[in-house]
């Protein structure tokens, strides 16, 4: 009996010891916005469960939202003075007013607005000496920051602390990760997103690309000399290319296939999970629908919608014999058909067998949940990557794309009907879903695996030499310049020789002529 216990005790001690020796300290510093927190928290949780000591930096205004569900993840609170960052950003940029007034809030223009706002926020965060000291004292083995361009100033933090860093994000930025890349293929930050571009799209894309390489369009490299004056100056572009690994919430099924380097890991989306059963009033409402339900939400930030739009939408829904669960801040115009609420269990609803259609602003998290559960989407983008995501969905026939400001009740109803009754959208989405589930088993685990891996082995061995080169070398501009010089020199010499021999002959001819006269 005694022997058994001591054996057990020894086993437990050994396990603890092993876990401790594996336990490295990792600090996540996500952009101070809810939707970014969702995947950073997911990945942080998975990494903590691998036995690491994981800290997540949370701004004061998000603490009460309880975004960090994982008990294993420790919270590092900061920025009481920053206040409600999301609220301030929405107010300062006038994003929603601009949208309803008809402005185009495509990815590039939203990115400019966001970088004006968050450029300031990141500078305030980096100026917070107490916070920086707190992180320094944790002696992190790895710092994780987001690769969204408007937040890139934050890469100065690991640089000034001399800590290796990994980039996690939703955007595969070919400039930051220095992918040998052709501007003839699309990226999100340029307006035309189709897989094949017209000639003028390519011209436009080319100029954007060159501008992004040469200028800090969305971040500010002067932060490096300002906050890390004791270190050699590096541009933010150069610092980014030195990340141990680039982890991107992206895939080749929703997105288009595009070139990547070995230290870029596309993990899919980490927000979907198996649906939990619905409960209470919601369960009853969904259960009692005869022909299925539509789930509609524009995410947590946009729950207040103008009446001219909600009444249009409600009239469109009236033309269908399906029930609707709608995340919106208003009382239902018809409680028999439409259930409204300011919060809904989106993933569980999308995973319900009765769900036929998702009406969405096409944010990344929701789109991955729809893909995972195989539900076609009617996209109504508002700002940023939502336009790109929406055009992609329409292009791949996984749903349709509507401009909610201009679409009429009839047009909205026709689109809803088309997606629900023409089988191709559901079939395409179901096929994409099974392909996705086959290839992307557990995105957060995959991300945690790679972070753990680079803490063990470093990311040097995956880094392409091209990521360390200046652009003129990567794009062989020096070689082209050299060859052009050689060619010009050769042409010049040939020209010179011909000219000399012509002159010489001409001279002789003249002489002959002169003699004859």
Residues lying near ligand NAG in the complex (CB under 6 A): 283-284, 287, 303-304, 329, 342
Query: Cβ closer to ligand NAG: 75 or 283?
Result: 283
Q: Is 167 helix (H, G, I), strand (E, B) or coil?
A: strand
Are the C-beta atoms of 261 and 467 separated by less than 8 Å? yes
Give the C-alpha distances (Å, rounded to integers) separating 96 from 135, 156, 363, 394: 36, 32, 15, 24
CA nearest to 208, candidates 112, 111, 105, 108? 108
Helices (H) and strands (E) in the chain, counts: 21, 13
Asked if 462 contacts 264 with a C-beta cutoff of 8 angstroms, the reply is: no
DSSP 123: H
Phi, psi of 146 (to 5 degrees): -90, 150
CA dihedral 120, 125, 126, 129 (to 10 degrees): 140
In the structure encoding, which two tokens stand for residue 322, read together?
A: 């399906």
Give the residue with the Cβ less far from ligand NAG, 198 or 342: 342
For residues 383 and 387, which CB has a smaller minimum distance to ligand NAG in the complex?
A: 383
Contact present, 305 and 100 (Cβ < 8 Å): no
Please name the helix (run of DSSP H) or strand (run of DSSP E) that holds residue 511, with its range, or none.
Answer: helix 477-516
- Minimum distance from residue 303 beta carbon to ligand NAG (Å): 5
* Nearest Cα to Cα of residue 366 among 106, 358, 405: 358
Task: With beta carbons less than 8 A apart as the criterion, state whether 235 and 159 touch.
Answer: no
Q: List Cα–Cα distances, 203 to 109, 162, 216, 397, 477, in angstroms.
A: 19, 41, 21, 27, 19
Q: Which two tokens stand for residue 377?
A: 């989407």
Pick 198 or 279: Cβ nearer ligand NAG: 279
CA angle, 402 then 327 then 274, to 5°:
95
Residue placing its CB nearer to ligand NAG in the complex, 127 or 342: 342
Of the candidates 343, 308, 350, the one whose C-alpha atom is nearest the C-alpha of residue 328 is 343
User: In terms of CB distance, is 84 or 195 closer to ligand NAG?
Assistant: 84
Residue with Cβ nearer ligand NAG (283 or 498): 283
Residue 302 CB, shortest distance to ligand NAG, in Å, is 10
Question: In angstroms, rounded to a whole number, what is the distance separating the alpha carbons of residues 470 and 238?
Answer: 9
Which distant-in-sequence residues (6+ apart) come within 8 Å of 133 by Cβ?
none
User: Do the Cβ atoms of 105 and 95 come closer than 8 Å?
Assistant: yes
CB of 287 to ligand NAG, least distance (A): 4
Nearer to ligand NAG, 303 or 394 (CB): 303
Q: How far is the CB of 348 from ligand NAG (least distance, A)?
A: 15
283 vs 504 by CB, closer to ligand NAG? 283
CB atoms within 10 A of CB 451: 27
> Minimum CB separation from ligand NAG for residue 439, in Å?
33
d(CA 97, CA 382): 11
Which residue, 306 or 470, has its beta carbon nearer to ligand NAG?
A: 306
Q: How far is the CB of 265 from ligand NAG (least distance, A)?
A: 37
Q: Based on CB atoms, which residue is closest to ligand NAG, 229 or 277? A: 277
Q: How far apart are CA 174 and CA 417, in angstroms?
A: 39
Coil, strand or helix at 326: strand
Nearer to ligand NAG, 284 or 510 (CB): 284
391 near 401, Cβ under 8 Å?
A: yes
Q: Locate tokens 């107490």: which residue?
A: 130
């Amino acid at each position: 009996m005694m022997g058994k216990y001591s054996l057990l005790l020894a086993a437990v001690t050994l396990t603890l010891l092993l876990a401790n020796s594996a336990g490295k300290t990792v600090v996540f510093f996500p952009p101070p916005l809810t939707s970014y927190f969702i995947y950073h928290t997911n990945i942080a949780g998975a990494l903590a469960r691998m036995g690491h000591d994981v800290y997540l930096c949370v701004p004061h205004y998000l603490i009460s939202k309880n975004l960090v569900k994982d008990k294993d993840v420790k919270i590092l609170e900061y920025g009481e003075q920053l206040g409600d960052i999301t609220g301030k950003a929405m107010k300062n940029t006038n994003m929603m007013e601009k949208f309803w007034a008809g402005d185009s809030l495509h990815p590039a223009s939203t990115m400019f607005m966001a970088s004006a706002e968050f450029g300031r926020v990141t500078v305030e965060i980096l100026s917070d000496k107490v916070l920086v000291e707190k992180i320094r004292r944790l002696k992190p083995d790895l710092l994780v920051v987001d690769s969204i361009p408007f937040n890139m100033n934050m890469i100065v933090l690991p640089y000034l602390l001399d800590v290796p860093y990994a980039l996690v994000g939703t955007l595969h930025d070919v400039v930051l990760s220095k992918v040998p890349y052709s501007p003839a293929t699309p990226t999100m930050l340029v307006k035309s997103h189709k897989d094949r571009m017209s000639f003028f799209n390519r011209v436009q894309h080319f100029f954007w690309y060159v501008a992004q390489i040469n200028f800090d369009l969305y971040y500010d490299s002067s932060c490096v000399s300002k906050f890390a004056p004791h270190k050699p100056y590096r541009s933010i572009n150069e610092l980014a290319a030195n990340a141990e690994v680039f982890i991107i919430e992206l895939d080749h099924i929703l997105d288009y296939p595009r070139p990547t380097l070995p230290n870029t890991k596309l993990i899919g989306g980490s927000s979907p999970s198996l649906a939990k059963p619905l409960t209470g009033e919601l369960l009853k409402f969904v259960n009692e629908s005869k022909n299925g339900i539509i789930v509609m939400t524009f995410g947590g930030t946009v729950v207040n919608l103008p009446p001219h739009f909600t009444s249009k939408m409600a009239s469109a829904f009236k033309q269908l014999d399906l029930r609707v669960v709608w995340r919106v801040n208003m009382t239902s115009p018809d409680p028999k058909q439409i259930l409204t609420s300011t919060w809904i269990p989106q993933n569980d609803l999308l995973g319900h067998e009765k769900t036929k259609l998702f009406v969405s602003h096409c944010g990344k998290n929701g789109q991955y949940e729809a893909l995972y559960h195989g539900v076609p989407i009617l996209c109504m983008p508002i700002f940023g990557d939502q336009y790109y995501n929406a055009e992609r969905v329409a292009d791949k026939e996984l749903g349709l794309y509507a401009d909610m400001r201009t679409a009429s009740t009839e047009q909205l109803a026709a689109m809803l009907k088309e997606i629900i009754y023409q089988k191709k959208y559901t079939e395409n989405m179901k096929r994409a879903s099974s392909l996705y589930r086959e290839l992307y088993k557990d995105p957060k685990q995959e991300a945690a695996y790679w972070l753990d891996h680079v803490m063990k082995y470093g990311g040097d061995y995956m880094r392409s030499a091209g990521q360390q080169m200046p652009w003129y070398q990567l794009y062989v501009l020096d070689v082209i310049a050299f060859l052009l010089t050689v060619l010009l020199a050769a042409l010049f010499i040939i020209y010179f020789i011909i000219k000399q021999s012509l002159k010489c002959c001409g001279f002789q001819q003249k002489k002959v002529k002169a003699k004859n006269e």
